[in-house]
Amino acid sequence: MDIDSPLLFPVTTRARKIFVLDETRLPFDQHYIEVKSLEDALWVLETMKTRSLGQVLLFFYCCLLFEETCPVSGIVEKFAEKRPTFDFHLLGMILKEERERCGDLETAIHEFIARFDRMRRDRAARLAEILPNPASVLTICNFNGELIYLYDEMRKLEKEAAFIVCETRPYLQGTRLTFWELNRNRIPCQLICDNQAALLMKDGKVNCIVTGADRSTTRGDVINKIGTYALARLASHYGIPFYPLVQYPKDIRVEDIRIEDRPVEELFIFLSEGTENAYSSVQAIYPSFDITTHEFVSQCIALV
């Protein structure tokens, strides 16, 4: 299967420069932001121009290009301050270990990225073995191409698969990224509003749920985009298996992880550009992640 998705590797480096796919402008405009400094990178991170795998790649490339002006430990702290729920301290440890193994930072980064992508493909193959045939997969947020890997592996097993994509409020990553990416690759998919999931489960139109996980514990708890917990509880009620894709679980108490509260004006990004600023003083609640504890997880599908 020929895969066509810039989201597989949304951050790249060329000629000692970093280029970040602006995910907030998809699907209408495939624009890349040139990152010339660590300050540029932190702005990209804070304003949600990239997320998920993009955050990992941006961190690694910043360590490669800006280490002379800021040590890796300093970059870890700056990234963690902007996006506290994501585990940049773990990425710093991984980078240190890879560097010691390779002896060269650039080689370490490129070898790790290549190995990480192979592990994603392998994870998709293992999940394909587990999913029913046919699979009606409900998902939320965006996987940076991994659902395409999953669909390809399902085809190899002669299994049918179709995806039901939650819109993923308020940034609409499900609509703008996941649904766009699946359509771009001619993969069967349907878009739903976030609040339609329960009805579809009740009517038997969903037989499995696959989500990402920004962080996870060795006990099987996961932290992911807000809305994941609701899907897990609904899945438990209707007897539908819930499979989060996890990487590098840690032996920690999930309750100790700081959940990132995003600016409340982001709840109004559906308005015309610029008008959302008029709501910066509005009383609202916007935790951008939630916690799903292990009793509502059927099986974590980990990188190996």
Show which residues are catalytic. Answer: 214
Q: How does strand 208-211 pair with strand 242-246?
A: parallel
Rounded CA separation 220/199 (Å)? 27
Rounded (to 5) percent helix, strand, coil in the chain:
45, 15, 40
- Could you check whether the bond before residue 132 is cis, i.e. omega within 30 degrees of 0? no
Q: Are 231 and 212 in contact (CB under 8 A)?
A: no
Cβ proximity of 154 and 124 under 8 Å: no
What dihedral angle (degrees, nearest 10) is formed by the CA atoms of 230, 166, 84, 17?
A: 170
Q: Is the peptide bond before 134 cis (omega within 30 degrees of 0)?
A: yes
